[in-house]
Structure 1
Amino acid sequence: MTILCVRFQLPPLYEAALPGLLGLLEEFTPVVEALPPDGALADLRGAERYFGRDAVELASVIRVRALALHGVDCAIGAGPGPMLARMALREARPGATRAVPEGDVAGFLAGKPVAALPGVGTATARTLCEYGLDTLGRVAAAPLSTLQRLVGARTGRELHEKANGVDRGRVVPNGISRSLATERPFTRDELDPERHRRALLSATEELGSRLRALDKVCRVLTLTVRYADRSATVRTRTLREPTAHSAALTDAAHAMYEALGLQRARVRALALRAEDLTPAEQATHQLTFDPVDEKVRRIEQVADRARARFGPRAVMPGSLAA
Structure 2
Amino acid sequence: MNDGERGTSDGERGTSDGVTTLYVRFLLPPMHEALLPQLIALLGEFTPQVEALPPDAALVDVRGARRYFGRSAVGLAALIRVRALALYGVECAIGAGPGPMLARMAARGAAPGVTRSVPEGEDGVREFLAERPVGELPGIGRATARTLCEYGLDSLGKVGAAPLSTLQRLVGARAGRELSEKARGIDRTRVVPNAAARSLSVERPFPRDELDPFRHRRALLSGAEELGARMRDEDQVCRTLVLTVRYADRSTTTRSKALPEQTAHSTELARTAYRMYDALGLQRARVRALSLRAEGLAPAEHATHQLSFDPTDEKTRRIEEVADRARAKFGPGAIVPGTLAA
The TM-score with structure 2 as length reference comes to 0.61
Q: Which residue of 2 aligns with 1:13?
A: 31
- Which residue identity does 1:66 align to in structure 2? A
Q: Which residue of 1 aligns with 2:253?
A: none
Q: Deviations over 1:264-305 (max 9, x none)?
A: xxxxxxx99566799xx996568459876334xxxxxxxxxx
Q: Which residue of 1 aligns with 2:60?
A: 42
- Per the alignment, do residues 43 and 237 of structure 1 end up closer, same or farther by CA in structure 2, a change over 3 Å counting? closer
1:96: how far off? 1.3
Once the two structures are superposed, the pairs formed by residues 146-225 of structure 1 within 5 Å of their partners are: 146-179=166-199, 205=220, 208=223, 217-218=230-231
Matched-pair identity in %: 57
Once the two structures are superposed, the pairs formed by residues 1-322 of structure 1 within 5 Å of their partners are: 1-103=19-121, 104-179=124-199, 205=220, 208=223, 217-218=230-231, 235-236=260-261, 249-251=269-271, 253-254=273-274, 273=294, 284=328, 287=334, 293-295=340-342
1:37: how far off? 1.2
Q: Give the gaps of 5 or more residues in structure 1.
A: 183-197, 225-231, 259-270, 296-322
Larger deviation, residues 173-182 vs 282-291 = 282-291
- Which residue identity does 2:33 align to in structure 1? E
Compute the RMSD of aligned alpha carbons. 4.1
Q: Give the gaps of 5 or more residues in structure 2.
A: 1-18, 203-212, 242-256, 279-291, 301-323
Contact persistence 2:53–2:198 (CA under 8 A): no
- Per the alignment, do residues 181 and 129 of structure 1 end up closer, same or farther by CA in structure 2, a change over 3 Å counting? farther
- Which residue identity does 2:42 align to in structure 1? L
Contact persistence 2:24–2:94 (CA under 8 A): yes
- Which residue identity does 1:116 align to in structure 2? E
Q: Secondary structure at the residue paired with 1:217?
A: helix
Contact persistence 1:218–1:276 (CA under 8 A): no
- Which residue identity does 1:19 align to in structure 2? P
Contact persistence 2:106–2:118 (CA under 8 A): yes
Q: Deviations over 1:15-60 (max 9, x none)?
A: 2221221121111111000011111110001111222211011111
Contact persistence 2:24–2:93 (CA under 8 A): yes
Work out the number of aligned pairs and report it.
Answer: 250
Contact persistence 1:223–1:253 (CA under 8 A): no
